[in-house]
């Protein structure tokens, strides 16, 4: 059973991303929303520090929240995809369950 995880805070002031990465499995998707967007810059280093392989995890960001924080899609690492609001809804449908980390 695959799970959609949403994370809405940066890893510099919360443990949400670390907690999420510890339980996420390969078939899951991580969607960064709100201030969770800032994790695009630190996610790889955090995962490495925690010794959690994230290469099989699909990682997305909510485009509206990305743009609202002054970041462009072109700045995203190659393994991170931007989705719009309709894409968020589609991700919810595609996974059997959702876990919302906030």
Partner 1 sequence: MKFTIVLHAAPYTSQASLSALRFAQASLAAGHEIVRVFFYYDGVHNTNEFSAAPQDELDLVEAWSTLLQEHGIDAVTCVSSSIKRGIIDTREARRHDRQGHNLRAPAVLSGLGQLVDASLASDRTISFGA
Under rule CB under 8 A, residue 2 binds partner 1: no
- Which is nearer to partner 1, 45 or 90 (by Cβ)? 90
Under rule CB under 8 A, residue 73 binds partner 1: no
Q: Tell me which of 8, 11, 29, 39 binds partner 1, using CB under 8 A.
A: 8
Contact characters 79-98, partner 1, x per CB under 8 A: ------xx-xxx-xx---xx
Cα 6 to Cα 75: distance, rounded to the nearest angstrom: 21
Edge-first strand order for the sheet with 58-62 is 80-83, 58-62, 29-32, 3-7, 97-101
Under rule CB under 8 A, residue 1 binds partner 1: no
Looking at residues 10 to 69 of the shown chain, list those that interact with partner 1 (rule: CB under 8 A): 33-35, 64-65
Q: How many CB atoms lie within 10 A of CB 27?
A: 13
């Amino acid at each position: 059973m695959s799970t959609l995880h949403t994370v809405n805070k940066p890893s510099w002031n919360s443990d949400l991303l670390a907690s999420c990465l510890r339980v996420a499995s390969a078939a899951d998707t991580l969607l960064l929303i709100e201030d969770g967007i800032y994790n695009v810059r630190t996610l790889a280093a955090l995962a490495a520090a925690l010794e959690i392989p994230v290469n099989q995890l699909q990682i997305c960001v909510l485009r509206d929240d990305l743009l609202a924080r002054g970041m462009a899609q072109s700045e995203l690492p190659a393994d991170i995809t931007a989705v719009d609001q309709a894409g968020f809804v589609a991700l919810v449908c595609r996974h059997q369950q959702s876990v919302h980390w906030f």
